[in-house]
Chains A and B, each alone.
Chain A
């Protein structure tokens, strides 16, 4: 594979898949915090 294509592949895949994983992780952390809060109030 050509170097520029490899660089672009790494950039696009990490931006898109990395972005998705980043936001999914944010959502997961938030859900966990909310569950812990609910348990404490119970």
Chain B
């Protein structure tokens, strides 16, 4: 049996888990919501860090350290053969996200290169975005992004994932700090800060703002995706799970605040009126990043530098998350007995092919983002069901609080996992599905619509049925006794 790799230190493990957590969502989604709802959004966003994200991160770290298996193997080992399909669903959701996430990483790279060359300053940004996304260029950059991620993963945990995150995460922080200095020194930056941190009572009392805070915390930290579980497979036996989970969660939120400080004051400063700034923040994730920001930052002196900094930060954030998704998929195949060098080409090929529709058609990309983004809430729920199956108190005792001198996990965890997270998950799912009916009232049931309730239910049901029907085969093929590296 070949020896399994381990992260060389706690710090490199933490850099890697934070690199995983800090992704495009911190840069293109958080500032959009924080600018719209301000401090009234930040309060629920902070609360749900403790009531959703950190408990799920603790669960993932503990499971990975205990089983030393990827997502499917962990569900099979801990819940029994009958529930292998649940691990299959969690793994599929994250892989489905990986297929289009590679496309987003490619977009960021393309825009960075265009910004560096200075060409982005002279174009009509809406038309350029339209032309770019309807051309074949996104395919090329999707392939480049996945090639970079594959190269990192091919070198293994220490020489690949660790080294990449040692460069990516500090560079990302440095780029955001450059952005903050520029943003806060602009005239009227304080208007943006007032919006970012000001509390409006009508928003604070609005349940939708609370659900937005929960959604952002759930999507941004990567809790319940299976990615932390995958990195935890390589952590040392005596690592402090609870402390690492708090650092990952707080690190992610800290990076979001850095991104908010770099973007929101600049948007309010560079738009002529507050109403226009508010409209800019409602342009959607891709609209804000690829149309509004290049347009606004283009007015700055040294525009080329600052637009390039923004897209390089977006690329680094997306790449560090893409790397973790590649590792999750590679680990899955390794659990089926394939060595890393054989598993990786399979993952790369699948990502290249299954990412193509998202690279070619923006409508398909939006459909996948909608279906599998929401699917992550189900993944989080499955992790909680796993813990409930084992017994929440037993899990806290035997999986988490096992190493002497570690930060102890209190009883609050049992209350949150038993009652709160299941309620949060169900409410969140129902709320988003209900909202989607309003987006397309006449065709909400359409299984082939871009962002309809029907397409969610159809695709989730399809994958769950597929996983259940393949349950026995998947379990039999799992190599539960061997760990190959």
Contact = CB atoms under 8 A, between A and B. Distances in A.
B199 interface: yes
29 contacts: A1-B190, A2-B198, A5-B39, A5-B193, A5-B199, A6-B197, A8-B39, A8-B198, A8-B199, A12-B197, A12-B257, A16-B250, A16-B253, A16-B254, A16-B257, A17-B257, A19-B246, A19-B250, A20-B247, A20-B251, A20-B253, A20-B254, A24-B247, A26-B243, A26-B407, A27-B10, A27-B240, A30-B243, A33-B405
Contacts of B46: 12, 15-16
Contacts of A16: 46, 250, 253-254, 257
A41 to B, nearest CB: 14
A9 B43 CA distance: 11
B407 to A, nearest CB: 7
Interface in A1-42: 1-2, 4-6, 8-9, 12-13, 15-17, 19-20, 23-24, 26-27, 30-31, 33
B194 interface: yes
A8 B243 contact: no
A16 B253 CA distance: 7
B42 interface: yes
**The 4 A-B residue pairs with the shortest CB-CB distance in the complex, in nearest-first order:** A20-B250, A8-B39, A9-B197, A8-B197
Interface of B: 10, 14, 38-39, 42, 46, 190, 193-194, 196-199, 240, 243-244, 246-247, 250-251, 253-254, 257, 405, 407
Nearest to A31: B10
A16 B286 CA distance: 27
Nearest to A7: B197
B197 A5 contact: yes
Interface of A: 1-2, 4-6, 8-9, 12-13, 15-17, 19-20, 23-24, 26-27, 30-31, 33
Nearest to A27: B243
A7 to B, nearest CB: 8
B194 A1 contact: yes
B49 to A, nearest CB: 9
Residue among B194, B246, B250, B254 having the largest count of chain A Cβ atoms under 10 Å: B250
Residue among A5, A23, A27, A31 having the largest count of chain B Cβ atoms under 10 Å: A23
B250 A5 contact: no
Given A2-B198, A17-B257, A30-B240, A12 B407 contact: no
Given A20-B253, A26-B243, 9 more contacts: A5-B193, A5-B194, A5-B197, A6-B197, A16-B250, A17-B257, A20-B247, A24-B247, A27-B243
Contacts of A31: 10
Nearest to B260: A12
Contact of A2 (B194, B240, B251): B194
A11 to B, nearest CB: 9
A23 B247 contact: yes
A23 B42 contact: no
Contacts of A4: 39, 198-199
Contacts of A33: 405
A24 B10 CA distance: 11
Contacts of A13: 257
